[in-house]
Amino acid sequence: MTQALDQQAVQRVARLARLRLTGDEAAKAGTQLQAILGYFERLSTLDLSGVEPMATPIQTGAPLAADELGPVIDRAAFMAMAPDHDGVFLKVPKVMAEGSA
């Protein structure tokens, strides 16, 4: 960026970021902002044709393990562990009143 940031622009950015900067802090922030804008200017000169846009630079999504059948508990043993059942289904307390959606 060829144009230097003036103190008014630095203070405006600081206000947008909810920062209160002293004169020395504003001068330092101005230098840092100028360097950051310089990096963006350098990036804008790169040829990115053919490069797919990304939402994040890292791969998200955990690798999934294959589904495999494990040990199965016998129905009678499972029902024996349940606090209440009718022999086929587990009985649980109501969590919604009648007529509620």
Q: Which fold has domain 7-43?
A: Histone, subunit A (1.10.20)
Cα separation of 33 and 3, whole Å? 12
pLDDT at residue 35, rounded to an integer: 93
pLDDT at residue 101, rounded to an integer: 63
> Taking the complete model, does pTM exceed 0.75, yes or no?
no
Structure tokens at 83: 């606090």
Q: Domain residues of the chain, as ranges? A: 7-43
With 70 as the cut, is the pLDDT of residue 5 above it?
yes
Residues in contact with 29: Cβ distance below 8 Å, sequence separation at least 6, in sequence order = 10, 13, 14, 21
pLDDT tens per residue across span 36-77? 999 999 998 999 899 888 888 777 777 788 889 999 999 889
Q: What pLDDT band is residue 99 in, cutting at 50, 70 and 90?
A: confident
Q: What pLDDT band is residue 2 in, cutting at 50, 70 and 90?
A: low
